[in-house]
């Protein structure tokens, strides 16, 4: 495991420097993934004592993903075209998808050439809806959840497994379902 962790950091540094992008890996942090895909001049920050085991796709220039301290990201997908911010003391299970964009235009005539553009190594973002995602401190996201563009998950909130989060989640609230809805407020004793 120690060799894999050392190789993960070296590989991450190589991938980001190769695309003229920024990477900041905090002390004691571990990158346990070789699925890192930065766009030119993008940025990835992993805070102290955090673990990243997921798939990272920074999909266009200047895209950023920032992860706080003591945070765990399991085998999940983070796809950013602008900004995904994840706080400290956050737990993100496996198979979670967090995206800050809708990938394609709603109008077929505007997305009809997407595959042809990909074949030529480009993507037209002109008609794609983009909105930053913020996941505050102390959040727990269960396996298989999807966090969609423009969502803010408040401090200490819990997202149930396989939920689809389409709207902001209040602090210290449990949400679940598709679309995710509040099902419980957490008592003050659990907020520490």
Q: Please identify which residue in the block is written with the tokens 């190789």.
A: 7
Q: Please identify which residue in the block is written with the tokens 């980001």.
A: 16
Bond from prior residue into 104 cis (ω within 30 degrees of 0):
no
Q: How far apart, in whole angstroms, are the C-alpha atoms of residue 96 and residue 4?
A: 23
Angle (nearest 5°) at CA 168 between 61 and 67: 45
What is the SS3 string spanning 147-159?
ECCCCEECCCCEE
The CB density around residue 186, as the number of other CB atoms within 10 Å, is: 14
Catalytic position from the list 104, 117, 127, 167: 104
Phi, psi of 2 (to 5 degrees): -60, -40
Is 102 one of the annotated active-site residues of the chain? no
What is the set of active-site residues? 104
């Amino acid at each position: 495991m120690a060799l894999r962790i050392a190789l993960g950091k070296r590989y991450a540094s190589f991938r980001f420097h190769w695309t003229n992008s920024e990477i900041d890996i905090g002390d004691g942090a571990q990158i346990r993934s070789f699925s890192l895909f930065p766009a030119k001049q993008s940025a990835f920050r992993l805070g102290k004592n955090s673990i990243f085991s997921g798939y990272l796709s920074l999909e266009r220039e200047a895209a950023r993903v920032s992860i706080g301290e003591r945070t765990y990201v399991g085998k999940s997908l983070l796809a950013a075209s602008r900004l995904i911010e994840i706080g400290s003391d956050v737990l993100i299970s496996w198979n979670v998808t967090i995206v800050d964009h809708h990938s394609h235009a709603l109008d077929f005539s505007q997305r009809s050439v997407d595959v042809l553009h990909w074949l030529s190594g480009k993507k037209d973002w002109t008609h794609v809806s983009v909105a930053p995602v913020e996941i505050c401190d102390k959040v727990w996201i269960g396996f298989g959840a999807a966090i969609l563009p423009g969502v803010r998950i408040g401090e200490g909130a819990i997202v149930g497994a396989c939920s689809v989060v389409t709207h902001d989640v209040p602090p210290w609230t449990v949400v679940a379902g598709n679309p995710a809805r509040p099902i419980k407020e957490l008592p003050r004793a659990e907020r520490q």
